A and B are shown apart, each in its own frame.
Chain A
Amino acid sequence: MNLLLSAFIIFVGGSFLSLGLVKYPRVLRVVGPGSVVIGSVLGIQPVLSSLILGTCDFLQMPWQIPMGSMSIGIDPLSAIFAIAILFVSPLAAVFGAGYLKSFEDTHDLGKSWFFFNLLVASMLLVVLARNALLFLIAWEVMSLASFFLVVFEHERDSVRRAGWIYFIATHIGTAFLLVMFLLLGRHAGSLEFSTFFNCGLSSHLVSVVFVFAVIGFGTKAGFMPFHVWLPEAHPAAPSHVSALMSGVMIKTGIYGLLRTLTFLGCPPAWWGWTIIIIGVVSGICGVLFALAQHDIKRLLAYHSVENIGIIALGLGVGLLGVSHGNAVVAFLGFAGGLLHVVNHAVFKSLLFLGAGSVLHSAGTREIDHLGGLIKKMPLTATAFLIGSAAICGLPPLNGFVSEFFIYVGAFEGMSRDGLSSGAAIGGILAITALALIGGLAVACFTKAFGIVFLGEPRSKHCEHAHESCMSMRIPMVLLSLACVAMGLWGFFAFGVMSNVTSVLTSGLTFDPATCGLITPYQDVLLSVTLFALALIVVIGSLIFLRSWLMSGRIQQSAVTWDCGYLAPNSRMQYTASSFAQPITKFFRTFLQTKRYVSPPEGFFPKTASFSSETDDFYGEQVYKPTFNALESWLSRFRQIQHGQLNLYIMYIIIALVVLFVWKLR
C-alpha cells in the first residue's frame, strides 16, 4: 500500500513539477514522462502481488470533507485494472516524449504533462478508492484532465468541437453516477463502499441503481448508445493520449460497473441480458462503423467501441451464469471479459501508438492518402501488424485468449443446461456475435494495414515518411512483445483470473474458484498455450527457411502494381473505401453511408469524383435532434440573460429573500 501511495504522490508531484518547468523544455522532456515511469515502476509490485496472491489491503485516513474519507484499498479486481494503468501509462508517456517534440515551439507542453500525470494519478485513485466521494472526485479529475489533454491542439475548430462533445458526454455520465451513489449512500448511511453491500435497497431501487450504473459508467466505457464521444475525442487527441484514453481510461467505466455490481448482490437474469445486448450492439455496430471510416484514428476509436462490446459480452455471459447459478459459466464469462480488458489495453494502445507514429511522420490520418509505409517504417509496420492480428482475436496473440474464454463460457452455458434455458440463448447470442465481430474485425484490419502500409504511396504526404525516433519505437516494441507474451499466458492467467472473479462473486452463495468445477478448463487452456507456442515456432521456422532460401540468390524489386500496366500509377490501387465496399454495401441499412458521386459523362470524360461519408447513426439520428430541440427550448431563457448588472443583483436578492421568508414563514 505504501508503494502504491508513493506512486500516487510521484504522479501528482510530477504533474506540478512539469507545470513549473514550462521554461525549460529539455528538462520537461525528461521530467514529464519520467515521473510517470518511476511512479508506475514503484506501484507495479504491490499490484502484481495482489493480483497473483489474491491478497487485499485497505487503508483508511480521516478527511476534512463531510461524508468523505481517504479510504483506499486494493483487491484483485482493482489490481487487474491497476496493472493495465501502470503498464500502459509509462509506455504512452515515453512515446509522448518523442511525439510532442515537434510541438515544443508552438504549444505549452508543461500543461500537457501536468494533465497527463494528473490523468494517470486520478485513474489509479479511481480503481483504489473505497469511498464514494473520493471515487467521484477522482473520477471528475480524470474526466477533466483527459478533456484538457484532448483539446491539446485547441487552435483547431474540430478539436474544440470534439473536446466539448467529450466534456458534455462525460458529465452527463457523472450526473447518473452522482444520483446512483446518493441512492446507495442514503440507504447505507455512509458513503464508504464497505457499507454498500446489501444495504437494504428494495428490489426496484436496486434495478434503478443498476440502470444508472450502466448509463453512467457506460458513457465512459463507450457502450453503444453512449459511445458518441469516442470517435470524436480519440482522433482529436495527441496519439499517446488516445492510446492512454482508449487503452486504459475507458476501462475505468468497466471497473466502476463491476465494482457497483459487487454491492448489489445476486443479479436477476435481465441484467445479464441487458449487458449481453449492449455487448452485441456495441460489438457489431462498432466494427461496422470502423469499416466505413477513412480516418485511421477514428477507425481505431470505433474498434474501442467494438472491444468494449466484447468485454460486455463476457461480463453479460458471466452475469447470466451467476443468476442461473452456473459457476462455470460465471467464471469463464467474467474471466474472459476481464482478461480482455487487459489485452485490449495492450493491443489498442499499441495500435494507437502505431497510428501516432504514422501520423507523426506522414502528417495525415487519412487512410486513402497513405500507402507503402512498410518500406519506410518497417518497425512501426510490424508493430501495427502484431496489434492488428491481436485485436482480431487471432492466435497466437493475446486477443485470442480472452475471446476464447468467452467462447468456452458461452458454449458451456449452452451445453450444460440444455438449449431451452436462458443461459443457453445468451450463449448462442454471444457466440454468434463474437464470430461476426471477429470476421468483420479481420476485414477491417486487413483494410487498415493493407492500405496504410502496403502498396505504393498514394500522396505526397508519405513520400517523405521516415521511421520514428527511439522513444517512440521502444514503447511499440514492448507492447508488441507483451501481445505475444500474453498470448502464451492463457494457462497461467487461469489462476490469476480466479482470484479476480472470486471478488466479483464473493457475496454470493457460491464461489466458482473454490468449488472445483472449473479445473477441467485449465487443461483446455494449457492446450491453447501449447498450440500458440507451436504456431510461433512454425512461423519462426518459416521465416528462417525463407531467409535461408533467399540467401545467395539474386533479388529484384519492382513497383508493387506492375502487372502489365504501361504506366502504373498509385491511384490505380485499391482505396480503403473500395476495399471495404462489399461489406459496407451489405450493411448499408445500418451504416447509412452518404455517397457523393459525379460519374464520368460523355465519350471523353474530363472530371469525375466520388466520395463517401459515414456519420455516426446515434450522433446524427438521436443526439443531434435531441440536443437541437433542447437548445431551442432553453433559448427562451436567454431573455433573463440580458447583461443588466442591476437586474442580476436583483435576481440574487430575490432568491435570498424568498428563501429567507420561506424559512421564517
Chain B
Amino acid sequence: MNLLTDSILVLLILASFLLLSSSRLSNCIKTVALQGMMVGVLPLAANDSLTCRVTAIALVIAGMKGIVFPYMLFRTLRESTTIKELKPYVGYTASMFAGVVSLVASFWLDSRLHLPVAASSRLVVPVAFSMMLTGIFLIVGRRTAVNQVIGYLVMENGIYTFGLAIVRDVPLLVELGVLMDMFMAVFVMGIAIYRINREFDHIDSDQLNTLKG
C-alpha cells in the first residue's frame, strides 16, 4: 500500500511542476483536473481497510475535483474571450526554479514540524506543503483570473492532502464542508470572472488597479 501512496504523491508533485511550466490555460485546467483526481483517490490508497463510506467520499471528491470543477473552468474559458496564453509575471523557468525551492523548503518545514501523529508516508507532509506553496505561487505569479482559480484549487489540494496526513480517516462532515466551500468558491469565482470579463472585455487582474482611487 505504501508504495502506491508514495507513487501518487510523486505524481502530485510532477503535476505541480507541470502546472508551473505549462503555457496554455487549457493544459493547466487538464493538469489540475488530473491532480484533483489523484488527490481524491489518495484516501483509498492510504487506508488499509477500505470501508464503503471512505470509498464513496473519495469518489465524490475525485469526481468534483477531477470533473465538475474543470468543466466549470472550461466553460468559463469558452465564454470569456480571453487569450488562451498565460502571460505570466514570472517566467516559466523561474517558476520551475521557485517550485524546486518550495519543495526544498517543504522538506525543511517537515523536518522542523513535530506533528502530533505520525503521517502515513514520509512524503505526505512535504508534498502537501509544496502543493500549497505552488498554489500560492500560481495565485501571485499569474495574470489571468482563471489561473488564479487554478492556483486556489492546487492550494486546496495541498490542504486536503495535509488533512489526510493528519487524520488518516476522512471525517465525513468536515470533508463535505470543505467540498462545499470549494464548490462555492469556484462557483463564485466563475461568476466573478464572467462579470469582470463582461465589464472590462478581459480578465487580466493586473488591470484592476485602474479602479483604485
Residues of A within 8 A of B (CB): 641-647, 649-650, 653, 660-661, 664-665
Interface residue? B184 (CB, 8 A): no
- Set of chain B residues within 8 Å of A644, measured between Cβ atoms: 206, 209
Interface residue? B2 (CB, 8 A): no
Instruction: Identify the closest chain A residue to B205 (Cβ).
Output: A645
Q: Which of A646, A647, A649, A665 has the most CB of B within 10 A?
A: A646
Check A646–B89 contact: CB distance below 8 A. yes
Within 8 A of A (CB), among B181-213: 205-206, 208-212
With A664-B109, A664-B112, A664-B113 as known contacts, state yes or no: A646 contacts B212, CB within 8 Å: no
- Set of chain A residues within 8 Å of B210, measured between Cβ atoms: 643
Check B208–A647 contact: CB distance below 8 A. no
Report 30 cross-chain contacts, Cβ distance below 8 Å, ordered by A residue. A642-B209, A642-B212, A643-B209, A643-B210, A643-B211, A643-B212, A644-B209, A645-B206, A645-B208, A645-B209, A646-B89, A646-B139, A646-B140, A646-B141, A646-B142, A646-B143, A646-B148, A646-B205, A646-B206, A647-B140, A649-B139, A649-B140, A650-B140, A653-B136, A660-B109, A661-B109, A664-B109, A664-B112, A664-B113, A665-B112
Q: Which applies to chain B's interface (DSSP): helix, strand, loop or mixed?
A: helix
Instruction: Identify the closest chain A residue to B111 (Cβ).
Output: A664
Within 8 A of A (CB), among B98-120: 109, 112-113
Instruction: Identify the closest chain A residue to B211 (Cβ).
Output: A643
Q: Which of A645, A647, A660, A665 has the most CB of B within 10 A?
A: A645
Question: Given A653-B136, A664-B109, 11 other A-B contacts at CB below 8 A?
Answer: A643-B208, A643-B209, A643-B210, A644-B206, A644-B209, A645-B205, A646-B139, A646-B143, A646-B206, A664-B113, A665-B112
- Set of chain B residues within 8 Å of A641, measured between Cβ atoms: 212
Instruction: Identify the closest chain A residue to B142 (Cβ).
Output: A646
Task: Tell me the bound Cα distance from A646 to B208 in angstroms.
Answer: 10
Task: Tell me the bound Cα distance from A57 to B88 in angstroms.
Answer: 68
- Give the distance to chain B from A471, nearest Cβ to Cβ, in Å: 43
- Give the distance to chain A from B55, nearest Cβ to Cβ, in Å: 35
Task: Tell me the bound Cα distance from A642 to B213 in angstroms.
Answer: 10
Instruction: Identify the closest chain A residue to B209 (Cβ).
Output: A643
Task: Tell me the bound Cα distance from A664 to B211 in angstroms.
Answer: 39
Task: Tell me the bound Cα distance from A464 to B139 in angstroms.
Answer: 66
Task: Tell me the bound Cα distance from A664 to B110 in angstroms.
Answer: 10
- Give the distance to chain B from A641, nearest Cβ to Cβ, in Å: 8
Task: Tell me the bound Cα distance from A322 to B149 in angstroms.
Answer: 68
- Set of chain A residues within 8 Å of B206, measured between Cβ atoms: 644-646
Task: Tell me the bound Cα distance from A660 to B206 in angstroms.
Answer: 28
- Give the distance to chain A from B163, nearest Cβ to Cβ, in Å: 17
- Set of chain B residues within 8 Å of A642, measured between Cβ atoms: 209, 212
- Set of chain A residues within 8 Å of B143, measured between Cβ atoms: 646
Residues of B in contact with A, size category: 10 to 19
Q: Encode contact with A along B139-182: 1 for CB under 8 Å, 0 otherwise.
A: 11111000010000000000000000000000000000000000
- Set of chain B residues within 8 Å of A650, measured between Cβ atoms: 140
Check B140–A653 contact: CB distance below 8 A. yes
Task: Tell me the bound Cα distance from A642 to B142 in angstroms.
Answer: 17
Task: Tell me the bound Cα distance from A98 to B191 in angstroms.
Answer: 49
- Set of chain B residues within 8 Å of A643, measured between Cβ atoms: 208-212
Task: Tell me the bound Cα distance from A665 to B141 in angstroms.
Answer: 27
- Give the distance to chain B from A650, nearest Cβ to Cβ, in Å: 4
- Set of chain B residues within 8 Å of A664, measured between Cβ atoms: 109, 112-113
Task: Tell me the bound Cα distance from A197 to B119 in angstroms.
Answer: 52
Within 8 A of A (CB), among B35-59: none
Within 8 A of A (CB), among B125-140: 136, 139-140
- Set of chain A residues within 8 Å of B205, measured between Cβ atoms: 645-646
- Give the distance to chain A from B58, nearest Cβ to Cβ, in Å: 29
- Give the distance to chain A from B140, nearest Cβ to Cβ, in Å: 4
Task: Tell me the bound Cα distance from A661 to B112 in angstroms.
Answer: 9
Task: Tell me the bound Cα distance from A644 to B142 in angstroms.
Answer: 12
- Give the distance to chain B from A659, nearest Cβ to Cβ, in Å: 13
- Give the distance to chain B from A362, nearest Cβ to Cβ, in Å: 40
- Give the distance to chain B from A176, nearest Cβ to Cβ, in Å: 32
- Set of chain B residues within 8 Å of A647, measured between Cβ atoms: 140
Instruction: Identify the closest chain B residue to A656 (Cβ).
Output: B136
Instruction: Identify the closest chain A residue to B113 (Cβ).
Output: A664
Task: Tell me the bound Cα distance from A641 to B212 in angstroms.
Answer: 9
Instruction: Identify the closest chain B residue to A661 (Cβ).
Output: B109
Task: Tell me the bound Cα distance from A74 to B208 in angstroms.
Answer: 55
- Set of chain A residues within 8 Å of B142, measured between Cβ atoms: 646
Task: Tell me the bound Cα distance from A664 to B148 in angstroms.
Answer: 29
Q: Which of B112, B141, B211 has the most CB of A within 10 A?
A: B112
- Set of chain A residues within 8 Å of B211, measured between Cβ atoms: 643
Q: Encode contact with A along B73-107: 1 for CB under 8 Å, 0 otherwise.
A: 00000000000000001000000000000000000
In the complex, the 5 A-B pairs of residues with the closest C-beta atoms, listed nearest first: A643-B209, A643-B212, A664-B112, A650-B140, A645-B205
Task: Tell me the bound Cα distance from A650 to B90 in angstroms.
Answer: 13
- Set of chain A residues within 8 Å of B112, measured between Cβ atoms: 664-665
Task: Tell me the bound Cα distance from A451 to B206 in angstroms.
Answer: 62
- Set of chain A residues within 8 Å of B109, measured between Cβ atoms: 660-661, 664
- Give the distance to chain A from B202, nearest Cβ to Cβ, in Å: 14
- Give the distance to chain B from A158, nearest Cβ to Cβ, in Å: 22
Q: Which of A644, A661, A665 has the most CB of B within 10 A?
A: A644
- Set of chain A residues within 8 Å of B209, measured between Cβ atoms: 642-645
- Give the distance to chain B from A576, nearest Cβ to Cβ, in Å: 42
- Set of chain A residues within 8 Å of B89, measured between Cβ atoms: 646
- Give the distance to chain A from B20, nearest Cβ to Cβ, in Å: 15
Instruction: Identify the closest chain A residue to B210 (Cβ).
Output: A643
- Give the distance to chain B from A648, nearest Cβ to Cβ, in Å: 9
- Give the distance to chain B from A188, nearest Cβ to Cβ, in Å: 35
Task: Tell me the bound Cα distance from A653 to B113 in angstroms.
Answer: 19
- Set of chain B residues within 8 Å of A653, measured between Cβ atoms: 136, 140
Instruction: Identify the closest chain A residue to B129 (Cβ).
Output: A660
Instruction: Identify the closest chain A residue to B90 (Cβ).
Output: A646
Instruction: Identify the closest chain B residue to A641 (Cβ).
Output: B212
- Set of chain A residues within 8 Å of B136, measured between Cβ atoms: 649, 653
- Give the distance to chain B from A642, nearest Cβ to Cβ, in Å: 6
Instruction: Identify the closest chain B residue to A644 (Cβ).
Output: B209
- Give the distance to chain B from A26, nearest Cβ to Cβ, in Å: 41
Task: Tell me the bound Cα distance from A661 to B133 in angstroms.
Answer: 14
- Give the distance to chain B from A639, nearest Cβ to Cβ, in Å: 13
- Set of chain A residues within 8 Å of B208, measured between Cβ atoms: 643, 645
- Set of chain B residues within 8 Å of A661, measured between Cβ atoms: 109
- Give the distance to chain A from B115, nearest Cβ to Cβ, in Å: 12
Instruction: Identify the closest chain A residue to B89 (Cβ).
Output: A646
- Give the distance to chain A from B156, nearest Cβ to Cβ, in Å: 15
Instruction: Identify the closest chain A residue to B139 (Cβ).
Output: A649
Instruction: Identify the closest chain B residue to A664 (Cβ).
Output: B112
Task: Tell me the bound Cα distance from A653 to B140 in angstroms.
Answer: 9
- Give the distance to chain B from A665, nearest Cβ to Cβ, in Å: 8
Task: Tell me the bound Cα distance from A193 to B208 in angstroms.
Answer: 50
- Give the distance to chain A from B139, nearest Cβ to Cβ, in Å: 5
- Set of chain A residues within 8 Å of B212, measured between Cβ atoms: 641-643
Task: Tell me the bound Cα distance from A647 to B89 in angstroms.
Answer: 11
Task: Tell me the bound Cα distance from A631 to B212 in angstroms.
Answer: 19
Task: Tell me the bound Cα distance from A653 to B109 in angstroms.
Answer: 16
Instruction: Identify the closest chain B residue to A643 (Cβ).
Output: B209
Task: Tell me the bound Cα distance from A154 to B139 in angstroms.
Answer: 40
Task: Tell me the bound Cα distance from A647 to B143 in angstroms.
Answer: 11
Task: Tell me the bound Cα distance from A569 to B148 in angstroms.
Answer: 76
Task: Tell me the bound Cα distance from A644 to B211 in angstroms.
Answer: 10
Task: Tell me the bound Cα distance from A645 to B141 in angstroms.
Answer: 11
- Give the distance to chain A from B65, nearest Cβ to Cβ, in Å: 22
- Set of chain A residues within 8 Å of B148, measured between Cβ atoms: 646
Q: Which of B136, B140, B208, B210 has the most CB of A within 10 A?
A: B140
